[in-house]
Structure 1
């Protein structure tokens, strides 16, 4: 059974408005070019590094930075096996500190649902002539089996942080 959300309203209030535009940028970049810019990864990391100092207790802040390092190492291993792209691995690492450790299972379930939904929408949209005409230069339409994972990664983080905002209502 999944527990209730541990992300606090205060954390979400600070992180969401800064992280959301980066999530949108990553999703669009991955759709257009099938790549996540390093500067977007650095921007998201910078948001946490700076904002987290003011929002989190020091011990929680340091543990969440450790999560970034752990996910980065795991991502490099998974990338070296050819299972995901390097940009996806780096962006997942940059996302990691935003997730409260008590919410890991909840976030993985959320990510799974977002991944299924975005994959289905992407596959459907690529078959609609009007969509293809409106976005003629998007590389992701032509990639066959490859999927722009930045859409799912950014979407899952944005939804997770938005869920945190809902706890303050």
Structure 2
């Protein structure tokens, strides 16, 4: 399966969307992804994953979450990204179980580039800075990866509603 089915998206999107928006907002404003958001995202998969995708993919999702968590901590230890980024990536990883790894990698790359360019442009627009003058990401040299991860999660689930063919 390259993309989730409509049924899977209908199970997961109503819960993933507000969490992803929350993560994007808090990472832009504070350059932090809160543990509450990570736990909420993990709970979505733990509770709704099985009915959304079935037992086998749900179990694979749990395994993928564990693998991404370990890789994320290694990436954090060597300074590639923040611990919150690693934890949120692991918490959302189950959603991608059963997906085409090449499609997922391409989506990750595209969302990372789009989020980076969008955030860098937005922080240089005076009107945007006036609306959110206290956002840490405007002056930080670091990138709010939660923005890219959230965009990836939302677009992946919305892809279920694209016409097939």
Corresponding pairs, count: 164
Secondary structure of the equivalent of 1:143? coil
Distance 1:11 1:130, change over 3 A: same
How far apart, CA to CA, are the structure 2 residues paired with 1:109 and 1:62?
A: 24
What is residue 81 of structure 1 aligned with on the other side?
78
Are 2:2 and 1:32 equivalent residues in the alignment?
no
Give 2:150's match in structure 1, choosing from 138, 154, 157: 154
Q: Which runs of 5+ in 2 are unaligned?
A: none
Give 2:68's match in structure 1, choosing from 67, 71, 84: 71
Is the 8 Å Cα contact of residues 57 and 98 (structure 2) preserved in structure 1?
no
Distance 1:130 1:102, change over 3 A: closer
Deviation at 1:59, TM superposition (A): 1.8
What is residue 50 of structure 1 aligned with on the other side?
47
Give 2:108's match in structure 1, choosing from 107, 111, 115: 111
What RMSD, in angstroms, separates the aligned Cα atoms of the two structures?
1.4
The TM-score normalised by the length of structure 2 is 0.94
Deviation at 1:167, TM superposition (A): 5.2
Are 2:112 and 1:142 equivalent residues in the alignment?
no
